[in-house]
Structure 1
Amino acid sequence: MNTTPPASFDDAAFDELLGFLRAESGSLETPGAWPSEQMQHLARAGVTGWRVPKQWAGSDLSPPALLSGYEKLTQACLVTTFVLTQQDAACHRIRGSDAQAVKELLLPRIVSGEIFVTVGISHLTTSGQHLSRPAVEVRETDRGYVLNGTAPWVSGAVHADYIVNGGTLPDGRQVLAAVPTDTPGLEACTPANMLALNASKTGPLSLNDVEIDRELLIAGPIENVMKHGQGGTGSLTTSAVAIGAAGGSLSRLRIEAENRPELTEILDSLTREHQVLRDDLFQAASDECDDARFAMQAIRKRANSLVVRSAQFSLNGQQKGAFRGTRRAVRRDARRRPRLWAST
């Protein structure tokens, strides 16, 4: 299998990949769909190795290149790109660890497309942090660790070969491990029925006396395990995906505006905002950036706002007369935006 990354995102091979993803994106809206074929195409194009070091057969793209790739892929197929980012999040955790055995076991197989790996770590960062008991409790054994509890949000668990998951020991220390999905006691629950991205198969993961060997440990036991082994693009990934999705919506709105001049003002305003945000995203990915406007949280907040508004205007643009009053809304939002940025 050829897993060589494109020389640039403008070459014919990458354009062919984007064309395939774009053409097949509609098929992922059907019940029960999963981007299996799409992920294989990503592997053949070398995309699954973007976040993997070269010594493990990856291409180890720079943060700006990685974000640019996510943006372009998202414009072609949001669901496939989202699923890819979940696997890349697993790669990020594995590559940043000292777990050489896990790297040897998983990273080359991820790059080749032999296996799919996802993450179930939201309970260690945001989800369930307010609970009196950890969402996933851990006890140590002679062989390794036993996990009990529920990881609330895991994408693609029903199709994964390994899940990067973890939990909390009685003394407050935490562990992170690569858990094989055929481990007894591990169950991918029925995916949630969401407004979008249902093909990502996102839902809870149940762990009932799931025992993992010590050699599958990625990090820990240590306090705040998620704060260790980080680096690179971090949460800018979600912003790049949002910006890519907004770009796709604006492209559709641009087609509609060719026959409806009244959409031009709105389109131009959103397009300018999109371009500024793209520039700020790549500036934020550089090591030389210390301006508060480029902080990850500020970028994410702006990206989330833009992707929602772009999608709304794109959908409304397909309905005659739906833009009544929206020009005033865009102007009002533009006036508020500088104060919002300054406060983040």
Structure 2
Amino acid sequence: MTEQECTRLAEAQRICDALLEPNAERVDRSGQVPRANLEALAAAGLADGTFGSDAFRRELVEALCGACGTTYFVLIQHLGSCGQVANSTNTSLRERFLAEMITGNHYVGVGFGHLRRPQPMLRATPVPGGWTLNGTAPWVTGWPVLSATIYGAHLPDGKHIYLYVPAREDDHQRVSAPLPLCAMNATETVEATLTDLFVPESDWVRDGSPEQLAASDTANLCNNVAPMFGVTQGSTRLLRQLAIKKPFPVLSQAADALQTELEQCRERCFTLADGDKSAPEWREQALAARTWAIELGVRAAHTAVAAASGGANSLDHPAQRRMREAMFYTLFQQTSEILQGTVARLARVPTAAPR
């Protein structure tokens, strides 16, 4: 990382330690987007999704997820949107919105995870001057703080289109009440229903295709593991705290073992992420590394739950939050390939071959 990236990362860690993690259980139970957390990160220049190397982004995500999953999950949608707008060939879109986006004054969410589903849920129809959108985007995170959403939709020819849409409710754009999730209810994630919503050509972000999305998912098999690494780090810290209070040497031993395994898994994942993706065995090795990271995060959180004893039954206990977040990240950006690989690893099915 560059010196500037190291400085930014140190400031991010300071905010995580001083603000995000101490208030994570309160935020988790509040049911409301943590605006103060987002404002603190934006003030530190960390709402700029156009900035940073892969190494910086991985470290930032791990730090955020190790502190407060809710804050991370709202912010990451916006960081992704910053990158989408920054890389768009639509200069008008960049000039109108990017400067405010990177300062955190104009939050933009995403609504295109559904494009991985076998049947189209949101369709775009070309009309004079733009497109009309019809259908449902089942996951739009952080709705109360959003100024806009980038929706992904299927075109009549089967390709994808990504469009910028202001976040306002009317007869053409309706959102549900916040969805009851297993974790991170405070992200205020909603389902958006679009009916004959006109989007002008000026708000086009980019085009895509199912093949490009699948290729991106494969290329990022080992890039999207930092959330689980954050959960593992947080669970390990909690184990060390419990080891001070309880006279069981196994707690600190478990923390040491998990930390060692985390370092090994991290090195393996990022070596593959930065390696030659055309190598014959790369995809199989990357999938194995991804599922290792998933299993490790769940196992670390489960270990913290066991060590916390009956206290972990409380919704206010950090061990329970870690466990729920580990479940959430198990499904984060899951493809059919990752689903099969994860199930095979967890169930110890040696002959399972993802298709």
TM-score category (smaller protein): 0.7 to 0.9
The one-letter code of the counterpart of 1:213 is P
Say if 2:106 is the partner of 1:84. no
Where do 5+ consecutive residues of structure 1 fail to align? 53-59, 323-335
Query: CA separation of 1:340/1:201 partners in 2, compared to 1, >3 Å: closer, same or farther?
Result: farther
Q: Which residue number corresponds to residue 106 of structure 1?
A: 97
Q: Residue 22 of structure 2: SS of its match in structure 1?
A: helix
Identity among equivalent pairs (%): 25
Query: CA separation of 1:64/1:281 partners in 2, compared to 1, >3 Å: closer, same or farther?
Result: farther
Where do 5+ consecutive residues of structure 2 fail to align? 313-344
User: CA shift at 1:280, angstroms?
Assistant: 2.1
Query: CA separation of 1:340/1:86 partners in 2, compared to 1, >3 Å: closer, same or farther?
Result: farther
Distance in structure 2 (CA, Å) of the matches to 1:299 and 1:311: 19
Structure 2 length as normaliser, TM-score?
A: 0.77
Q: Which residue number corresponds to residue 290 of structure 2?
A: 300
Q: Which residue number corresponds to residue 249 of structure 2?
A: 261
Q: Which residue number corresponds to residue 258 of structure 2?
A: 270
Contact 1:35-1:80 within 8 A present in 2 as well: yes
Distance in structure 1 (CA, Å) of the matches to 2:57 and 2:293: 17
Q: Which residue number corresponds to residue 159 of structure 2?
A: 173
Say if 2:200 is the partner of 1:213. yes
- Aligned pairs for 1:1-344 (under 5 A) are 7-8=6-7, 11=10, 13-18=11-16, 19-49=18-48, 51-52=49-50, 60-125=51-116, 127=117, 129=118, 131=119, 134-182=120-168, 184=170, 185-220=172-207, 223-224=209-210, 227=213, 234=220, 236=222, 238-258=224-244, 259-288=247-276, 290=279, 292=282, 296-319=286-309
Query: CA separation of 1:43/1:267 partners in 2, compared to 1, >3 Å: closer, same or farther?
Result: same
Report the number of matched residues: 312
Query: CA separation of 1:104/1:284 partners in 2, compared to 1, >3 Å: closer, same or farther?
Result: farther
User: CA shift at 1:238, angstroms?
Assistant: 3.6
Distance in structure 2 (CA, Å) of the matches to 1:82 and 1:228: 22
The one-letter code of the counterpart of 1:40 is E
User: CA shift at 1:272, angstroms?
Assistant: 2.1
Q: Specify which structure has the higher proportion of helix.
A: 2
Q: Residue 161 of structure 1: SS of its match in structure 2?
A: strand
Q: Residue 229 of structure 2: SS of its match in structure 1?
A: helix
The one-letter code of the counterpart of 2:56 is A
Query: CA separation of 1:107/1:310 partners in 2, compared to 1, >3 Å: closer, same or farther?
Result: same
Contact 2:9-2:56 within 8 A present in 1 as well: no
Q: Which residue number corresponds to residue 317 of structure 2?
A: none
User: CA shift at 1:266, angstroms?
Assistant: 3.3
Q: Which residue number corresponds to residue 332 of structure 1?
A: none
Contact 1:239-1:299 within 8 A present in 2 as well: no
The one-letter code of the counterpart of 2:309 is Q
Partner deviation per Cα, 1:163-188 (whole Å, 9 max, x = no partner): 11021222323211111112641122
Contact 1:178-1:218 within 8 A present in 2 as well: yes
Q: Which moved more, 1:182-191 or 1:201-210?
A: 182-191
Structure 1 length as normaliser, TM-score?
A: 0.80
Q: Which residue number corresponds to residue 326 of structure 2?
A: none
Q: Residue 192 of structure 2: SS of its match in structure 1?
A: strand
Partner deviation per Cα, 1:138-194 (whole Å, 9 max, x = no partner): 211112000010011221124311111021222323211111112641122112111
Q: Residue 114 of structure 1: SS of its match in structure 2?
A: coil
The one-letter code of the counterpart of 1:188 is V
User: CA shift at 1:68, angstroms?
Assistant: 0.9
Q: Residue 48 of structure 1: SS of its match in structure 2?
A: coil
Distance in structure 1 (CA, Å) of the matches to 2:221 and 2:97: 23
Distance in structure 2 (CA, Å) of the matches to 1:342 and 1:250: 31
